Structure 1
Amino acid sequence: MKLGYNEIMITSMYFNDINDFINLEIGVKRFQGNIERFHFNPIPLNEYSRKLFTNIETFHIYNKKDEIFKDGKIFKKVIWYLVDYSTYLKEKEQGNICKNIEYTEEDRKSYGTTIPPEVKSLGYDCFRECYSLTTINIPSSISEIGDCFNRCSSLKSINIPSSVSEIGSDSFYKCSSLTSMNIDNLQYISKERIFMNEPVLVSIKIPDNLEIINGKNIEKKDINKFIIPSSITKLGKCCFYECSTLTSINIPSSINEIGDLCFDRCSSLTSINIPSSIN
């Protein structure tokens, strides 16, 4: 199959360095002018590389420290690094796009306890000490929940969507009224933790007064009988944290990554099988 201009543009979007673009045009004569066809920058730019991407109209900012250019035909920015909701609203007014939006404690104080649908993560302490908060629905746009509901003493129920791939181990610390949870993708309930979601398996410590999950009374099971499903590709951060009764575990070959502190404080763990698939 012979690569055309469109195919090589798509391929070169995944280059990591300006030298890759230059070498392509030097090495393959018919792909000369490939850089000029881009109307956005697929990599961060500096003074030198900016001169090569002459037809940029949309400027992508991948990191906070990226050099920003406002020259030429640029009329819009796409921001990929994490920004708070307030910043997102300001950028939106200017016609710019933010790809990774966090709802912070300051945002919640300014805009309320209803989580906007554009938000991708809930920041650390976002809802801390919201004593009047009784229930909350986390939208499916959320992929990360920090330790954000601690000391919400009136919180009675919460919904955790399957989109969540990271959750703080103390997210529900001292939520003394929390008796009911709805979990879209419940996997297992041990004596210590509730396991949920895929392809990233995440867990939370069972809140002290929790009684009902998905409309049913909690039935706690022996953690040693938990078989990790083959649909799981990653064990999230602190996934088995403080599972003090866990004695052994077999990690299936579907797993390619184990999160930080995954087995921290598993004081009874004596054996573990780690497959070659782990990166």
Structure 2
Amino acid sequence: MSSSLSFTLQEIMTISQYFKTTEDFIRLQLVKKSFSCLTDLFKENPISSPIFRYITTQNLYSREDKIIPNLSCYIIHYKVNYNEYLLLKKDRFYFKHIEYSKSDREKTKGKIPQEITCIGEKCFYNCDRLSSINIPDSVTSIEYSGFKNCLRLSSIYLPSRLLKLKSNCFENCQSLKVISFPSTLTSIPDACLWKCYSLTSIQFPSNLSSLGVNSLSQCTSLISFSLPPHLEVIGDAAFWGCCSIRRILFPSSVSSVGKGAFWSCANLFQVSVSLHSTPIKYGVGCFRGCKILSQVEGAKQINW
């Protein structure tokens, strides 16, 4: 407790911004008399609590938060769909998470507004007439099955700020030929590109660390790609049925290749492991059905 007495009030304010509950702030104010006015010094509330009496900006973290009238600014942190945003939009209100939902798509005829930060769950699901789409740079996430079953989708632009993809987001986009992921992504989720039969080329993000289960299963035309230098985990059946792949080079960062990861890659004839790589754990049947592959360079033991 004595160490806290050496902090200035400004330093205590900085530290307390990471507190999670009202009780945390109250306990801190009891430590030292000069800390008793701590919550009165905040210009905006770091948590949902009425103890910050003199704020000029209110952060609204949930729909249950009550708006304090006549402040200079309000920041909405909880997710709203685009229609809600249009209804709530007014001077002094700012929105952190605006989702483009299926109902929003139907109202805007599929043109994604520039304010959107998230493509909602099944937003474009079964849009079999959609042939191309540009996603605004404001978008940072695409939810579960966002573009699943878009049978005619042949090209898509992914924004440079994209941080997260949920599973099955491009599953069964049978006409998609090329896709380039931005460097901001660190993982490709389960079944992300499953059954994208026309896909020939992928540009993986440079910071990719993991490929999910069935992430590229049955991409039967896939030929051109390089596994990025920081990839660590290749999930179960990640490349199952990718029968056009001929060569694979595992970067030195790879530590695990999942069960059936390259199962039935019938034309795969060369698999190499980068020099100075750590030992790789190969899952059962990871190369099963690779009829012309006889060995994996640099691998000591594999359960085919």
1:205 aligns with 2:202: no
Contact 2:162 2:182 in 1 (8 A): no
Coordinate RMSD, CA, aligned: 3.7
Amino acid aligned to 2:161: S
1:32 aligns with 2:36: yes
Residue 99 (structure 2) aligns with: 102
Higher-Rg member (1/2)? 2
Q: Helix, strand or coil for the counterpart of 2:114?
A: coil
Query: CA 1:168 to 1:31, structure 2 compared with 1: closer, same or farther past 3 Å?
Result: closer
When normalised by structure 1's length, the TM-score is: 0.67
- Give the C-alpha shift of residue 69 in structure 1: 4.1
Amino acid aligned to 1:54: R
Q: In the aligned structure 2, how far is the partner of 1:107 from the partner of 1:265? A: 40
Amino acid aligned to 2:28: L
Residue 277 (structure 2) aligns with: none
Q: Percent identity?
A: 27
Q: How many residues align?
A: 231
Query: CA 1:95 to 1:89, structure 2 compared with 1: closer, same or farther past 3 Å?
Result: farther
Contact 1:165 1:202 in 2 (8 A): no
Query: CA 1:132 to 1:250, structure 2 compared with 1: closer, same or farther past 3 Å?
Result: closer
Q: In the aligned structure 2, how far is the partner of 1:43 from the partner of 1:264? A: 45
1:223-244 superposed Cα distances (whole Å, 9 cap, x missing partner):
xxx57617x8xx7xxx725337
Amino acid aligned to 1:9: M
Residue 113 (structure 1) aligns with: 110
Residue 16 (structure 1) aligns with: 20
1:240 aligns with 2:228: no
Residue 299 (structure 2) aligns with: none
Residue 60 (structure 2) aligns with: 61
Q: Gaps spanning 5+ residues in structure 2: where?
A: 1-5, 204-220, 241-249, 264-281, 286-304
Amino acid aligned to 1:16: K
Contact 2:200 2:223 in 1 (8 A): no
Q: Gaps spanning 5+ residues in structure 1: where?
A: 186-196, 256-262, 272-279
1:133-152 superposed Cα distances (whole Å, 9 cap, x missing partner):
22112233322212121232
Residue 274 (structure 2) aligns with: none
- Give the C-alpha shift of residue 25 in structure 1: 2.0
1:6 aligns with 2:10: yes
Query: CA 1:252 to 1:218, structure 2 compared with 1: closer, same or farther past 3 Å?
Result: closer
Contact 2:259 2:284 in 1 (8 A): no
- Any residues of structure 2 matched to 1:72-111 within 5 Å, and which? 73-74=70-71, 76-111=73-108
> Which of 152, 162, 165 is residue 164 of structure 1 equivalent to?
162
Contact 1:169 1:205 in 2 (8 A): no
Q: In the aligned structure 2, how far is the partner of 1:270 from the partner of 1:219? A: 24
- Give the C-alpha shift of residue 36 in structure 1: 0.7
When normalised by structure 2's length, the TM-score is: 0.62
